[in-house]
Amino acid sequence: MAYCDVLVGMESNWMAAGSCNEHPPSLFFPSDGVGVEVAKKICADCPSKEPCLEYALANRIDHGVWGGTSERQRRRILKARRSAAMAR
């Protein structure tokens, strides 16, 4: 099963085009920093990187590497966006 198949009922074109389809889903749910870096390297050249990240942010997906970002990075992005929105 491909990583994106984990998202039952949420398929879209960008998911089908994702580089992760060629790798085991578990690779994108690493248990340590080394694993995060391995997944992020695959994401780096993925044509779906941007929509993947936005999808994860919009759906507040806490686990795994999405759009080339770790869980911690996504939390920081969301926090920065909230701060920017409040500053307007």
Q: For binding to ligand SF4 (CB under 6 A), which residues are involved? A: 3, 18-20, 28, 42-43, 46, 48-49, 52, 66-68
Minimum CB–partner distance for residue 28 and ligand SF4 (Å): 5
Shortest reach from residue 17's CB to ligand SF4, in Å: 8
Residues 66 and 20: their CA atoms lie apart, in Å, by 10
In the complex, minimum distance from the CB of residue 88 to ligand SF4, in angstroms, rounded to a whole number: 29
DSSP state of 66: B
Nearer to ligand SF4, 32 or 45 (CB): 45
Any idea which residue has 């780096």 for tokens?
44
Measured from the CB atom, the residue of 36 and 48 that comes closer to ligand SF4 is 48
DSSP assignment of 1-15: --GGGGSTT---HHH
Rounded to whole angstroms, the Cα distance separating 23 from 80 reads 31
Q: Which two tokens stand for residue 44?
A: 């780096």
21 vs 88 by CB, closer to ligand SF4:
21
